[in-house]
Amino acid sequence: MFQYCFNILHVYWVIQIQALVKTYTNFVTIFLGNIHHNRLIQLSRIGERYETQALQRFDVSKRYAILVIYLLDLSQELIDFAIEIHDRQMMHLESNGRRQQDELQKQNGKALNEKIIHFSGLVRALLKAKSEGLDPYTTIEAALMPWDKLISSGQEAEKLARPLDYDYIDLIKNKYSNLRKHTPTLFKCLEFRSTKSNEPLLRAITLLNEFNDAKKRTIPNDAPVDFIPNRWNKYVFEKDGTINRRYYEMAILTELKNNIRSGNISVVGSRRHKDFDEYLVSKEEWALIKQNGTKLAISNNYEDYIQERKDTLLKRIKWVNENVQTLEVASWTKFDGQFTHASTGKSPNDDEKDIIMATLIAMGTNIGLSKMADSTDGSTSSK
């Protein structure tokens, strides 16, 4: 019970965070598209790490920008987590079915062996009756067992028999109620997209959403069924042609899991399962770039690109070196004053503060003292 409550709680937070992000749709659309992905990650980590008091030190525009970016990133993480939960639930369902089938095989091993012996004896009796021209019924009773016991053995065999394809789907039907504890919420708060080949599956998900809202139970005969694999057909469709709700919904959940894994279905707002086209420049944007003759933000020449990255890095390091005295954490906490001199016991002067900050950055970012010294004016690795 705790696990399902835990699952539903995370999916619920996906809904809440998506609502907050939609409030800032214009901000997200206009501004985030022009910010480098790594910079977005950095700002999201700031939003995750900073407490309320720390965020209040920022001006309003910066504070809300960081929060929106963090919420957007958190929304993606929660959506991915919700999909992972669904994947695990379905994998557990399938493994549980296989395990039940193996347990039945072990429990009924003696009885199954007995039925095999009876069947073998029945075949021998029939062969004898055919080869010697004897009455088959009399021969079976004389060679094997009385007719009433043979009928009883056949009835027992029917109960022990598994499907001809030895599938376990019939054993997972009783797990449907457990799935219903989270799947309606999953369908309601997540949006799935796909190519035309998977449209029947998406229509089936839409149908389930409508039925869940209306609290309907019976699946109509015109419901989308083209997505259902052959192995599920004999369970989904009853003998009278009606659709079994439990097996229909479990078939949807199974195929959804399989298609998300294969990348045939994408999840809106997800980072791990988003549409492949989202990684690319949109057709509209690319057409506008070609029309206006706009150049790409980076050079397509390797040497030029590497040189530009080096220049940017050195420029940032130089800025840190020039502004080390006004770094935020040191100005708030005055922690740098605690680095007293080992000989004099005095707090560091301005020149010494530069060296202390450079050392902390070098050690904290794994740059190393030598490289930091090469990038910092007036410092050496031994000073």
Q: What is the pLDDT of residues 308-361, one digit of tens each?
A: 888 988 888 888 777 766 676 777 777 878 888 877 878 888 778 778 888 888
Check pLDDT > 50 for residue 80. Answer: yes
Q: b or e along 237-256 (b: 16 or more beta carbons within 10 Å of the residue's beta carbon)?
A: beeeeebbbbbbbbbbbbbb
Regarding whether 227 and 196 lie in a shared domain, the answer is yes
> Are residues 363 and 331 part of one domain?
yes
> Where in the sequence is the domain holding 149, given as residue range(s)?
103-171
> Do 281 and 308 belong to one domain?
no
Domain boundary among 137, 171, 205: 171
Q: How sure is the predictor about 22, in pLDDT bands with cuts at 50, 70 and 90?
A: low
Co-location of 272 and 288 in the same domain: yes
Distances (CA, A) of 121 to 12, 113, 117, 145, 149: 62, 12, 6, 9, 13
Domain shared by 328 and 293, yes or no: no
281 and 211 share a domain? yes
In a domain, 233, yes or no: yes
Residue 98 lies in a domain: no
| CA atoms of 199 and 156, how far apart (whole Å) | 44
CA distance 354 to 376: 9
20: in domain: no
Let me know if residue 91 belongs to a domain.
no
In a domain, 355, yes or no: yes
Task: Indicate the SS3 state at residue 187.
Answer: helix
When divided into structural domains, the chain yields a total of 3
Averaged pLDDT score across all residues of the chain? 79
Question: Do 262 and 348 have their domain in common?
Answer: no
* DSSP-derived secondary structure for 25-36: HHHHHHHGGGS-
Last residue of a domain, one of 282, 297, 312: 297
Residue pLDDT, tens place only, 33-63 = 667 777 888 888 888 888 888 888 888 888 8
Q: Which pLDDT band, with edges at 50, 70 and 90, does 203 fall under?
A: very high
Same-domain check for residues 275 and 309: no
Sorting pLDDT into bands at 50, 70 and 90, what band is 184?
A: confident
Please indicate, yes or no, if residue 10 is contained in any of the structural domains: no
Q: Which of 116, 139, 171 is the last residue of a domain?
A: 171
Asked whether 348 and 361 are in contact (CB, 8 A), the reply is: no
Would 325 be classed as within a structural domain? Answer: yes
Main-chain dihedrals φ then ψ at residue 243, nearest 5 degrees: -105, 130
The pLDDT of residue 75 is 83
Reduced to 3 states (helix: H, G, I; strand: E, B; else coil), residue 265 is strand
Q: What pLDDT, on the 0 to 100 scale, is given for residue 201?
A: 92
Residue 373 main-chain phi, psi, to 5 deg = -65, -40
Same structural domain for residues 206 and 288? yes
Say whether both 164 and 257 belong to one domain. Answer: no
Higher pLDDT, 79 or 20: 79
Do 317 and 365 lie in one domain? The reply is yes
| Residue 138 domain-assigned (yes or no) | yes
Determine the average pLDDT of the residues in 165-192: 81
Which of 215, 205, 323 has its CA nearest to residue 253?
205
Residues 225 and 279 occupy one common structural domain? yes
SS3 category, 226? coil
